[in-house]
Amino acid sequence: MVHSENLKYGALFMVASGLLFASMATIIKIVSTSLPNEMVVFFRSVIGMLVLLPWLWHRGWGVVKTRRLGLHLIRSLFGLAAMYSFFYAIAHIPLAEATLLNFSTPLFVPFIALLWLGEGVPHKLWWAIGIGFLGILFILKPGMALFTPVSLVGLASGIFAAVAMVGIRRLIRSEPAIRIVFYFTATSTVVSAVPLLWAWRTPDPALWVLLIAVGVLASLAQLLLTRAYAHAPAAQVGPFTYATVVFAAIAGWTLWNEVLDVLSFVGAVLVCIAGILAIRRGGPRLAPAAELPDLEKLKTTVKLK
């Protein structure tokens, strides 16, 4: 039984994390009007690496030695693909819609886990998954004039993130969290640096500040996320992650006069309901994964098979 005080703090940390994630997404949309997606992803990655260095210095570099390099790379590359897709979607479709499609991840995790880990899909999840996919159809509107192909990129970010999540679940059975975080951050930094050879544009001074802010906000948001899961189980605080969608919708409406059409609004409600049900009914196994070393504190909360 989780103490109500812990649940309250867990919920507050989760909502605060959602606010920072939405703020990060808002800045990405602003920056993307002047800079290519490749640069935004790189700066998000390299600043995350700088945030990680103090932990590595404190723990010692021996902590990154691994016998699971291949699996680390698979998890990291899918995580990076999710980042590229999500940031691209933010730049080209309404902020709330891009965020919502990225948050479809819990709907895909059971299928990825089935194919990769051989885990069965609990029967109680099928209703939630069905509702979620119906919501996605409302958002994508295939076959209609309102259909936006870029929305598929946003959906791909959710699928890629689901593969990365399942990869974390497999890795954390034998690997410490800081090692998982290191290989993801290092891989993202190195791989995202390659496109800069042809995509680099020297940012204006104001854009430098915004690019740094993207990395700092993302790192702080992940820290608050892990704090939330350290206070209460995923099934209880996980649903509060959808506060990010609300904050993103407010930012999109305030700054760009973005308003979801009726079908997208209905789809948004269905996806949020489905995501919450998936997290609650799927329990800790569907908990969103954090990207900071504080994930170690979740070992007593996120029980893995």
Residues 6 or more apart whose CB falls under 8 angstroms from that of 289 comprise: 164, 165, 168, 169, 295
Lowest mean per-residue pLDDT among 98-102, 133-137, 295-299:
295-299
Residue 304 lies in a domain: no
- φ, ψ dihedrals at 258, nearest 5°: -85, 125
Q: Are 245 and 98 in contact (CB under 8 A)?
A: no
Is the per-residue pLDDT at 227 higher than 90? no
pLDDT of the residue at 142: 77
pLDDT of the residue at 145: 60
Residue 184 lies in a domain: yes
Residue 31 lies in a domain: yes
Residue 305 lies in a domain: no
Please choose, from the candidates 297, 196, 216, 242, the residue with its C-alpha nearest in 3D space to the C-alpha of residue 44.
216
pLDDT tens for each residue of 235-247: 777 788 899 999 9
d(CA 207, CA 90): 17
**Mean pLDDT across the chain, nearest whole number?**
85
Residue 303 lies in a domain: no
Is the per-residue pLDDT at 304 higher than 60? no
In this structure, what token pair is assigned to residue 149? 């192909």
pLDDT tens for each residue of 185-225: 999 999 999 999 999 999 999 999 999 999 899 888 888 88
Provide the residue range defining the domain that includes 120: 4-298
Please choose, from the candidates 80, 235, 85, the residue with its C-alpha nearest in 3D space to the C-alpha of residue 158.
85
Residue 142 lies in a domain: yes
Which SS3 state, helix, strand or coil, does residue 167 take? Answer: helix
Q: What is the mean pLDDT of residues 69-92?
A: 95
Query: Helix crossing, 205-231 with 37-59: angle to 10°?
Result: 50
Instruction: Tell the residue number behind the tokens 């993307």, with chain if given.
Output: 32
Q: Are 248 and 96 in contact (CB under 8 A)?
A: yes
Start-end of H helices in 37-149? 37-59, 69-92, 95-102, 105-117, 126-140
Q: Give the DSSP per-residue string, 247-287.
A: HHHHHHHHHH-----HHHHHHHHHHHHHHHHHHHHHGGGGP
Residue % of the chain over a pLDDT of 70: 89
d(CA 229, CA 222): 11
Is the per-residue pLDDT at 5 higher than 90? no
Domain count, the chain: 1
Residue 107 lies in a domain: yes
d(CA 232, CA 302): 10
**pTM of full prediction above 0.75:** yes
pLDDT of the residue at 238: 79
d(CA 209, CA 31): 10
In this structure, what token pair is assigned to residue 39? 């640069």
Is the per-residue pLDDT at 290 higher than 50? no
